[in-house]
Structure 1
Amino acid sequence: MRYPVPAEPSGRLSDAWRFCVGTGRFDLALRRDYQDSLALVQREIGFRHIRGHGLFSDGVGVHRPYEYEGARRVLHSFTYLDQVIDAYLELGIQPFLELGFMPSELASGEQTVFWWRGNITPPSSWQEWAGLVRATVTHLIDRYGLDLVRRWPIEVWNEPNLDVFWLGADEAAYHRLYEITARTIKDVDTSLQVGGPSISPGSDEWMPRFADFVTARDVPCDFLSRHAYTSGPAQHVPFGVHQTMGPASGLLEQFATTRRQVAGGPLADLPVHITEFNSSYRPDNPIHDTAFNAAYLAPVLAEGGELVDSFSYWTFSDMFEEAGIPTSIFHGGFGLLTHRQIKKPTYHLYAFLARMGDQLLTRGEDHLVTRDAAGRVTVLAWAPVDVTGGPAVSGHTVRLSIPFRGESVFMLRSSVSEEMGNAWTAWSEMGRPRSPHPKQLDILREAAEPVRRHRSLPVNGGTVELDLTLDRHEVTLVELSPVVDETPPWWDDSRILGL
């Protein structure tokens, strides 16, 4: 079937996919490889905010209690916090602040999560917790200015509906934490953005109860947040997992859940931020490294902005140590990039979107078509995936009729698939070296680049007929630009050899 593309846009393409991206814990940003990776991402994609755990964990060192003259006092130290945020701003990205985990010397218990031991217990002193929040927010305003800091959403904790992240998944205790935190932030300045409850999939009843709580007690809330994943239970193997996958439409259903739950209530018009999403919730699932992941997520990126104000890919880099230090360059990490800046197919899905226009012409189950102010038309197309493990579709076709002025257009096509622009495949064929030597790294970086093709296409009757045949798990970007022919009248290609 050939799809006719409208001549005029139906609206603007949402860039909610670009609002935020995830990261490993806060203090990892002090490392060179991290900053090199983020610089690359910002050059070629350009996210606006970045969110990760551990702002208040011991590795950042903000909370520093001491004894003086027989009394407990607290020094709030911002040495590392300033270095990280300075680096973010220099790279053109702003923080999406997540307040957590609990500093060990303010914690009420010793329960922790992750290899780096983020403390998941409530504070032993609510007054001291409020002082920590107040001091941090006040410092940020003093250093960066209120006009800038008021653009930074502040999220209270991470997935408190799971007992691995919040002791006993105690909802009442989280509500107390949220209320004290939100009121403290607003006491510093009412224009600051605060929200939550940052819940994981599977406990959807938390959101309406949170809405009821903040409404009944008139607790400040400027946005609602939750996470979305579609993978099943982990099937563990040494240093990794395998998981079943639900259809990608399940992510869109999760995106839509919050607005459906608060519809008709006082929070109905609040922004909704998906502050984490991916296929798998595990940082050691090889699916993240594959072309499957890119083709799987393509329809989510194409449609997600119709449902929420932002959805944040978890994460931009494999520099991420929740399950320990990675044992191999490819290890199933969440990142768009591996360590040492090797691009994964999903990286290119984002880079392709970043090159698209902002005028939405049409959208289908396997394609997205836009135009920019200069008249360049861009087509993102993707092959369907089968989450049941059936044979991958090869030879899937997308046929479009695109209105265009002039006599011809220049087509540039960039593709990634199982065979093209896929460093994971090249690494597998190398024998899966855990620590590739420099020459191998160079080969992998080259293998990771999309395959690019180009040609001239005729315009017949004001229309370009575009026929795309897609490889297994292919995601492709086609850029169509009008041709202004400046060939001199004496030019004859047949005479290049002087014959």
Structure 2
Amino acid sequence: MAPDFSSEKELTFTLLGEEQPSLLWGDGARLIFVLYGSVSVLLRGQSEVLSQAGFCLVNPLELCRVSCASGSRALMLTIPQDYIHLSGCLTESRSCTAVDAQTAPQTVCDELRRLMAQTARLYFNRSSRQRLNESVMALLQFLESSFPCIEHNSSEQLSYASIDRITYVLNFIHHHWAENISVAQLAEQIYVSPNYLSRFFSRYLHTTITDYISNLRIQHALRLLREEHTSITETAMRTGFPNTSTFIRKFKQQYGLTPKQFEKQQAERGKALSQNTLLFTKESEDNDLSSLFRYLPLEDAPASQSKTVYSCKVSAADTGTSVQPMWRRLLNFGYAREGLLAAVQQQISRAQRDIGFEYIRFHGIFDDNMQIYQEDEAGQPKPNFLYADMLTDFLVSQGFKLYIELGLMPSALKKYDIFVLNRISNFSVPAQSEKWHFLIVQTLRHWISRYGQEIVRTWRFTVMGIHVPVFTDVSYEEYYEHYRNSWEAVKSVDPGLQFGGPGGFASIAWDADILPDFFRFTVENGCFPDFITTQNYPHHNVETDAEFMHTSVAQDFLPTTLSGDRHFTRNLCGRLCHLLRAIDREQTPIWLEECNSTIWQRDLSGDTCYKAAWLCHSIAENYAAVQAFGYWLLTDFIEERGAFTHIFHGGYGLFTYNGVPKAGWQALCLLRRMGDALLAAGDWYLITRSRTQLHILLFHYCDYDSLYRHRYRRLSQPAEAYRVFREDNVMEVHLEISRLTPQPHQIQRSAITREQGSSFDQWLRWGAPNDLSVDDISQLHLAAQPSYRSELIMPDAQGVFHLQTELQMHEVQLFTIELNS
């Protein structure tokens, strides 16, 4: 659709990039901020090149052409005339045409950038219209006071009739750019002579009609070359150029290289970005809006003092429904070789001692560094289970059943080189399926010989997830055969062994074909999984995200954004149940084998109290919906990313690498104290009972704001960790508890807050130091303990007690009431 050059009515932000050279004209003002790279601005016939953090004001009714260099981005704010008239500012053109960051007055530029960043944050986070309007007005007033008016005579002012003429001509050009448009044809449309129109156009838009049309055609040609990979001849023909030579000459004039050279450059860039990695490793501050948001003040915004009331009723006489906590079924640590390290084993032992899990899962039992797969001089397999036995002996001794992912691929068996992050673990399918089959059979027979068939039958087995074909050279047909071969190998040893699948990222559940095709294949080939597995990372593909903006695709990580659905886990379980009902397999157990609130491995917010509230919310909403909820991951000690410099660095772990518990771990410890009968669960509470106690868990879960979900804003400083969430009021909880005996009851209150229960917040209060002493670590352990208070309560004569409490954002509270007989 061609752009509309009529009046702009809404405040908008637009991201500009190299694929979208922009010709701008309208009755609103435009403020352009260079996020990274360099941007060329052609304004009033003068060309300026702006570097990162430079900005440009395009006055109303001025034509401007913006071109971003390769790998560059700019953010444009369009301010409608209604705002301008209301503010009384910018009624005359400003001299602030283009200001480069290297030459402008620092204090003036920084204040303008701060106001721009503040407005962008409010806009993208959908803050109230009043707050957004106030920010825009402050921005307009600053422009008015900081940049003088342009000196010009009244003859330069455009009349309303002239504005209408330009608007009509521009709209006509943008609807007919691929046709043979002449100046005479345009002049006829507005009833003026061709000479008058040419002079008028050049005078007020500072370019000729011919150049304007040519530039517009080049923009469309750029899109065809990049997105449709059309030939040079076809591109010239489809964009209205009279011949290929003219197209090549105009293209080179504008971009400094021929279309063929441009295509070669794009192919080389695409090749560099399409290496066989499941997750990209490069994280640059220049890949998002961080260059703008760094001008926001570092201090936290004052917490909201407004309150929202939440009410609930519960009877202490209810017996509830007996449930087994699905979150205690499965514990995850990183990779098999890491399980041999003393630091990791100590944390595994603590997890089993403090909470007690049924299964334990990890990656990489067949990684080269476990040295299981060996071949003799004749190329025949000769397995070696020395390291594997050391690991499995330890895990079995701790009381775990094993959840074995049969992978990853030994180098001697690989078909492709497919690596994850900074590890050498290979996500390939085997080049020789018979050797892979042999490896599985020999490994299972070894475990049965070592631990007994009865024990191994309680274990569970899977292979790598079905998401691998989405991002790599592995085809779905290859994945299906790999799955079937693995299933057959396991069942050939003992049909009673449990084999699950297909794993994969959660977004696959909403794909129209992936899971239905997999289910069809496994039903037809008699290898349907004994239990369904998936990985619960709350994300959306960018193509289906209504709030997605173009920068997401330019970032060096998976083309996906965090979901804005606060009930993502519940809806994922519902989707899987729906797919299973469609094939009459609704009784098949569902295991969420990996769960986390984020897809990013350096997400500082995961070290905060937020993780505690997220865990409580996700578990409470799905308390009996699935068989297992396996949080990924126990410890930050995982050799999957580069080295870190801080004890808190946004790792996935519930513990730091050296064993300091985070708020998320403390949330699980509170959940461990819940009863075995479920009375009620909701968006902010979980209520259970045991024989002698009533347990009330309250949590104030606040999800990420839009900017952070789309990775437009990254956390580079620990002090910013709490600044990426949607603003919310204080929770004021009114809970009516009935059917208590009318006599004193002991009530115990534990709470996870930023003041107590969060080792990260204590570290933050110290100034986030790099080097910590032994005494410092001991103090962090103490600070990690939730607050605790015990007192007597007295129900009224009818046995009713009204419990009232308040929760700040991310706070968790557990009340345990002793039930007197």
TM-score by shorter chain over 0.5: yes
| Alignment match, 2:312 | 3
| Alignment match, 1:229 | 537
| Alignment match, 1:458 | 794
Which ranges of structure 1 fall in alignment gaps of 5 or more residues? 485-499
* 8 Å contact from structure 1 (residues 226, 275) kept in 2: yes
Which residue, out of 184, 192, 198, partners 2:497? 192
Match of 1:52, SS? strand
Q: Deviations over 1:11-33 (max 9, x none)?
A: 12341111112211111011111
* 8 Å contact from structure 1 (residues 395, 471) kept in 2: yes
Task: Tell me the CA shift for residue 141 of structure 1.
Answer: 0.8
Find the aligned partners of 2:561 and 2:529 in 1 and give their Cα distance: 36
Structure 1 runs of 4+ aligned residues shifted over 4 Å read 231-238, 242-245
Match of 1:419, SS? coil
Match of 1:64, SS? coil
Q: Does 1:314 align with 2:314?
A: no
* 8 Å contact from structure 2 (residues 469, 479) kept in 1: no
How do 1:56-95 residues align onto structure 2 when only pairs under 5 Å count?
56-67=366-377, 71-95=378-402
Q: Does 1:27 align with 2:27?
A: no
How do 1:383-422 residues align onto structure 2 when only pairs under 5 Å count?
383-388=700-705, 389-405=725-741, 407-422=743-758
Find the aligned partners of 2:737 and 2:474 in 1 and give their Cα distance: 53
Q: Deviations over 1:59-86 (max 9, x none)?
A: 111101121xxx2112111111111111
Find the aligned partners of 1:137 and 1:230 in 2 and give their Cα distance: 34
Structure of greater relative contact order (alpha carbons < 8 Å, 6+ residues apart): 1
Match of 1:431, SS? coil
Q: Given residue 229 of structure 1, which amino acid in structure 2 is its aligned partner? A: Y
Match of 1:29, SS? helix
Pair member with larger Rg? 2
Task: Tell me the CA shift for residue 218 of structure 1.
Answer: 1.2
Q: Deviations over 1:104-144 (max 9, x none)?
A: 11112333223221112221211100000001111111111
Q: Does 1:47 align with 2:350?
A: no
Q: Describe the shift of the 1:8–1:310 C-alpha distance in structure 2 as closer, same or farther (beyond 3 A).
A: same
Find the aligned partners of 1:24 and 1:436 in 2 and give their Cα distance: 25
Find the aligned partners of 1:38 and 1:402 in 2 and give their Cα distance: 41
Find the aligned partners of 2:674 and 2:313 in 1 and give their Cα distance: 19
Q: Does 1:364 align with 2:682?
A: yes
| Alignment match, 1:268 | 586
Task: Tell me the CA shift for residue 231 of structure 1.
Answer: 4.6
Which residue, out of 748, 757, 761, partners 1:425? 761
More strand by share: 1
Find the aligned partners of 1:20 and 1:273 in 2 and give their Cα distance: 9
Q: Given residue 387 of structure 1, which amino acid in structure 2 is its aligned partner? A: Y
| Alignment match, 2:184 | none
* 8 Å contact from structure 1 (residues 2, 401) kept in 2: no
Match of 1:306, SS? coil
Match of 2:381, SS? strand
Q: Given residue 347 of structure 2, which amino acid in structure 1 is its aligned partner? A: S
* 8 Å contact from structure 1 (residues 251, 300) kept in 2: yes
Task: Tell me the CA shift for residue 297 of structure 1.
Answer: 2.8
Find the aligned partners of 1:402 and 1:450 in 2 and give their Cα distance: 28
Q: Describe the shift of the 1:94–1:326 C-alpha distance in structure 2 as closer, same or farther (beyond 3 A).
A: farther
| Alignment match, 1:294 | 612
Match of 1:432, SS? coil
| Alignment match, 2:569 | 251
Which ranges of structure 2 fall in alignment gaps of 5 or more residues? 1-309, 543-551, 706-724
Q: Deviations over 1:279-313 (max 9, x none)?
A: 11222111211111221232210122332211110
Which residue, out of 187, 210, 228, partners 2:518? 210
Match of 1:258, SS? helix
Match of 1:319, SS? coil
* 8 Å contact from structure 2 (residues 696, 816) kept in 1: yes
Find the aligned partners of 1:466 and 1:402 in 2 and give their Cα distance: 11
Q: Describe the shift of the 1:127–1:162 C-alpha distance in structure 2 as closer, same or farther (beyond 3 A).
A: closer
| Alignment match, 1:492 | none
Q: Given residue 181 of structure 1, which amino acid in structure 2 is its aligned partner? A: S
Task: Tell me the CA shift for residue 406 of structure 1.
Answer: 5.3
| Alignment match, 1:496 | none
Find the aligned partners of 1:331 and 1:402 in 2 and give their Cα distance: 45
Q: Does 1:378 align with 2:695?
A: yes
RMSD (Å), alpha carbons: 2.4
Q: Describe the shift of the 1:231–1:442 C-alpha distance in structure 2 as closer, same or farther (beyond 3 A).
A: farther
Q: Does 1:138 align with 2:445?
A: yes
Instruction: Using structure 1 for the length normalisation, give the TM-score.
Output: 0.90
Find the aligned partners of 2:555 and 2:417 in 1 and give their Cα distance: 29
Find the aligned partners of 1:282 and 1:215 in 2 and give their Cα distance: 35
* 8 Å contact from structure 1 (residues 386, 392) kept in 2: no
Task: Tell me the CA shift for residue 244 of structure 1.
Answer: 5.2
* 8 Å contact from structure 2 (residues 736, 800) kept in 1: no
Task: Tell me the CA shift for residue 453 of structure 1.
Answer: 1.1
Find the aligned partners of 2:671 and 2:369 in 1 and give their Cα distance: 35
| Alignment match, 1:219 | 527
Find the aligned partners of 1:303 and 1:401 in 2 and give their Cα distance: 21
Task: Tell me the CA shift for residue 267 of structure 1.
Answer: 2.8
Match of 1:105, SS? helix
* 8 Å contact from structure 2 (residues 365, 408) kept in 1: yes
* Number of residue equivalences: 476
Q: Does 1:438 align with 2:774?
A: yes
Find the aligned partners of 2:760 and 2:539 in 1 and give their Cα distance: 21
Instruction: Using structure 2 for the length normalisation, give the TM-score.
Output: 0.56
* 8 Å contact from structure 1 (residues 16, 308) kept in 2: yes
Percent of matched pairs sharing the same residue: 26
Task: Tell me the CA shift for residue 176 of structure 1.
Answer: 0.2
Q: Given residue 704 of structure 2, which amino acid in structure 1 is its aligned partner? A: V
Q: Deviations over 1:175-222 (max 9, x none)?
A: 101111111111100100001111112223322211111101112521
Match of 2:405, SS? strand
Find the aligned partners of 2:789 and 2:466 in 1 and give their Cα distance: 44
Q: Describe the shift of the 1:186–1:136 C-alpha distance in structure 2 as closer, same or farther (beyond 3 A).
A: same
| Alignment match, 1:119 | 426
| Alignment match, 1:473 | 810
Find the aligned partners of 1:368 and 1:260 in 2 and give their Cα distance: 25
Q: Describe the shift of the 1:79–1:365 C-alpha distance in structure 2 as closer, same or farther (beyond 3 A).
A: same
Q: Given residue 449 of structure 1, which amino acid in structure 2 is its aligned partner? A: Q
| Alignment match, 1:168 | 473
More helix by share: 2
Q: Given residue 314 of structure 2, which amino acid in structure 1 is its aligned partner? A: V
Q: Deviations over 1:395-429 (max 9, x none)?
A: 53242324323511111111102222111111112
Find the aligned partners of 1:345 and 1:402 in 2 and give their Cα distance: 32
Match of 2:806, SS? strand
* 8 Å contact from structure 1 (residues 406, 483) kept in 2: no
Q: Given residue 769 of structure 2, which amino acid in structure 1 is its aligned partner? A: P
Q: Given residue 420 of structure 1, which amino acid in structure 2 is its aligned partner? A: Q
Find the aligned partners of 1:3 and 1:160 in 2 and give their Cα distance: 41
